[in-house]
Amino acid sequence: MKSFLQYLKVIWQIFRKDFQVEWRGKQGVPVMLVFSLLVVFLFNFALQLSPTLQASLTAGLLWVSLAFASTLGLNRSISLERESNALDGLLLVPVDRSAVFFGKALSNFTFTTLVALALLPVLSLFYQQNLFHLPLVLVIVLGVGAYTGLGTLLSALSIQSRTRDVLLPILLYPLALPILIAAVEASRGILAGQPLGDLKSWIFLLLAANILFSAAGLMFFETILEE
Amino acid sequence: MTLHKKPSLLSILDILSILLFTAVLILILFFTPTELTMGPVQKVFYFHVASAWGGMLSFILAAAAGIGYLVTRKVRWDWLSLSSVEVGLVFGLIAILSGMIWAQPIWNTWWVWDPRLTTTAIMEIIYLAYFILRSGLDTPETRARLGAVYVIVSVITVPLTFFSIRLFRTIHPVVIATGGDGGSAFNMTPRMLLAFIASLVVFTLILADLVWHRYRLAQLQNTIEEEVN
């Protein structure tokens, strides 16, 4: 029991540290936000969206821009630890190393969710469509949770490669596809006014992805980072 | 230098695969009836499903070998994992290309963004990325360790992908219908079924043969590298 509390404390401390770094430097969330807005703008011009088409594409646009922006944060989060060998320090903490995974995943999750929440009013304004639905926020929390969980795991893989940050999107996007499909379909349904009951398969899929990738982090993070 | 002799069982498997492949080809071309609505192009189906099956099987084998490596830390498990992924990629490619040959006359297009097709293509990319990951890692030990984690995590997404296909509406025929909506399934005559099962078995044999050859290649490569160092 005491060791479990210790474990939770390590997760919390890593999260707090990341949050403090972000709060003082403000180099993660604002960059991600601006980047995600740029993606929205690019899509708008590249696809010549007509107003009627826009409404049905909002969900897809939201998730694509989030997925792209999130990669920036994920890469930054792990390369920060790589600088001046901070990662080695983290790995010396006398608890199971999966605590480091959950700490990093928690901060990545928080930052991407913040970006999503900031993106919602902007998209609502641009596309004249109210995006503030509680179910949509739930889907964002679940989708971002699964996505950043998998992303944190894979960023620990990619950081060890010579190609580093270039590698993460290549590993992450194809593996995250089921998460993105489920998140887009659920969001689209919610925005189209479907009752939540009709969308429960997608929500369950997201839940399952959360559980699966947390379990993968629990099992493999230690293996990935062993020297 | 100790060069590993080719096992005689592998030679037998070579000959067996060639003979049986020829046999099943004859079976498909001359023995199976021509499908009523689709015509001769339906015969692509035997190789299409068999190679898709082979690809899927080898990716599962790769993950199993990955677990084997993480448990035992013996490098030969990594050779098996690598070999399976490489051969699985080729099988998957054959499945996609043969599917396109069938789709052009039947669906009147080479490609549709059907979930099943899309996810098969994505699966190929997932395992292509495996090689990109490996090429960026410096020591054989890291390549084996991270490669093992990656193939296991990849296999986790396969059932998720399957589930998302079931949820989507799909125009891809379901051969093994599980009750309910078997609407798009076409029924097989006994002769078709025989050829179908035969091609599944033969493709599994060919898969085993190729993986074994690739494994031996990795083994020889390793021996030479050890001699050089």
Note which residues in 172-211 of chain A have CB less than 8 A from chain B.
Answer: 174-175, 177-178, 181-182, 185, 201-202, 205, 208-209
Tell me the ipTM for this assembly.
Answer: 0.89
Chain A residues whose beta carbon lies within 8 Å of the beta carbon of residue B142: 160
Lowest mean pLDDT among B37-46, B53-62, B82-91, B209-218: B37-46
Q: Report the sign of the C-alpha dihedral through residues B165, B171, B177, B183, in that order.
A: positive
CATH number, position B210: 1.20.120
Q: How far is B12 from chain A (nearest CA, A)?
A: 39
Dump pLDDT digits (tens) for A35-50. Answer: 999 998 888 888 877 7
Whether residue B143 lies inside any domain: the answer is yes
Whether residue B150 lies inside any domain: the answer is yes
Chain B residues whose beta carbon lies within 8 Å of the beta carbon of residue A60: none
Choose the closest CB to A175 out of B137, B153, B168. Answer: B153
Interchain pair A178, B157: CB under 8 A: yes
Amino acid at B174: V
Nearest residue in A to B154, CA atom: A175
* pLDDT bracket for residue B15 (50, 70, 90): very high
Percent of all residues in chain B with a pLDDT value above 90, rounded to a whole number:
53
Helix (H) or strand (E) holding A29: helix A29-46
* pLDDT bracket for residue B185 (50, 70, 90): very low
Question: A154: closest CA among A143, A144, A164, A162?
Answer: A164
Choose the closest CB to B125 out of A157, A158, A174. Answer: A174
Best of B133, B142, B152, B165 to substitute, by most chain A Cβ atoms within 10 angstroms, is B133
Whether residue B114 lies inside any domain: the answer is yes
Dump pLDDT digits (tens) for A98-109. Answer: 999 999 999 999
- Check pLDDT > 90 for residue A172: yes
- What is the pLDDT, as a whole number, of residue B4? 75
- What is the pLDDT, as a whole number, of residue B169? 55
* pLDDT bracket for residue B2 (50, 70, 90): low
Average pLDDT rounded to a whole number, residues A185-214 = 89
- Check pLDDT > 90 for residue A147: yes
- Check pLDDT > 90 for residue B84: yes
- Check pLDDT > 50 for residue B181: no
- What is the pLDDT, as a whole number, of residue A142? 96
Q: How far is B161 from chain A (nearest CA, A)?
A: 6
Does residue B156 sit at the A interface (CB-CB below 8 Å)?
yes
- What is the pLDDT, as a whole number, of residue A20? 92
Whether residue B221 lies inside any domain: the answer is yes
Q: Residues B145, A223: contact at Cβ < 8 Å?
A: yes
The alpha-carbon radius of gyration of chain B (Å, integer) is 20
| Tokens (6 digits) for A141 | 């929390």
In chain A, helix, strand, coil percent, each to 5? Answer: 85, 0, 15
Q: What is the mean pLDDT of chain B?
A: 86
Whether residue B56 lies inside any domain: the answer is yes
Structure pTM?
Answer: 0.89
Q: How far is B154 from chain A (nearest CA, A)?
A: 7
Whether residue B179 lies inside any domain: the answer is no
- Check pLDDT > 50 for residue A17: yes
- Check pLDDT > 70 for residue A200: yes
Paired strand residues for B39:
B35
Using alpha carbons, list the distances in angstroms from residue B14 to B50, B88, B208: 18, 18, 10
Dump pLDDT digits (tens) for B152-174. Answer: 999 987 777 666 666 765 566 66
pLDDT, greater one: B181 or A36: A36
Q: Report the sign of the C-alpha dihedral through residues B176, B181, B187, B190, in that order.
A: positive
Dump pLDDT digits (tens) for A75-129. Answer: 999 888 888 788 888 888 888 889 999 999 999 999 999 999 999 999 888 887 8
Indicate the number of domains in chain B.
Answer: 1
Using alpha carbons, list the distances in angstroms from residue A73 to A13, A144, B133, B138: 19, 12, 20, 26
Using left for φ > 0, alpha for ψ between -120 and 50, and beta otherwise, residue B180 falls in: left
Q: How far is B104 from chain A (nearest CA, A)?
A: 26
- What is the pLDDT, as a whole number, of residue B93? 95
- Check pLDDT > 60 for residue B127: yes
For residue B138, the enclosing domain spans 9-31+39-173+191-228
Whether residue B182 lies inside any domain: the answer is no
- What is the pLDDT, as a whole number, of residue B113? 77
Chain B residues whose beta carbon lies within 8 Å of the beta carbon of residue A182: 164
Neighbour-count burial for A125-161, b at 16+ CB within 10 Å, e otherwise: eebeeebeeebbbebbbbbbbbbbbbbbbbbbbbbbb
- What is the pLDDT, as a whole number, of residue A194? 85
Q: What is the mean pLDDT of chain A?
A: 89
Whether residue B184 lies inside any domain: the answer is no
Does residue B85 sit at the A interface (CB-CB below 8 Å)?
no
Nearest residue in B to A184, CA atom: B164
In whole angstroms, what is the distance from residue B7 CA to residue B215 CA?
A: 12
Dump pLDDT digits (tens) for B27-68. Answer: 888 888 887 778 888 888 889 999 999 999 999 999 999 999
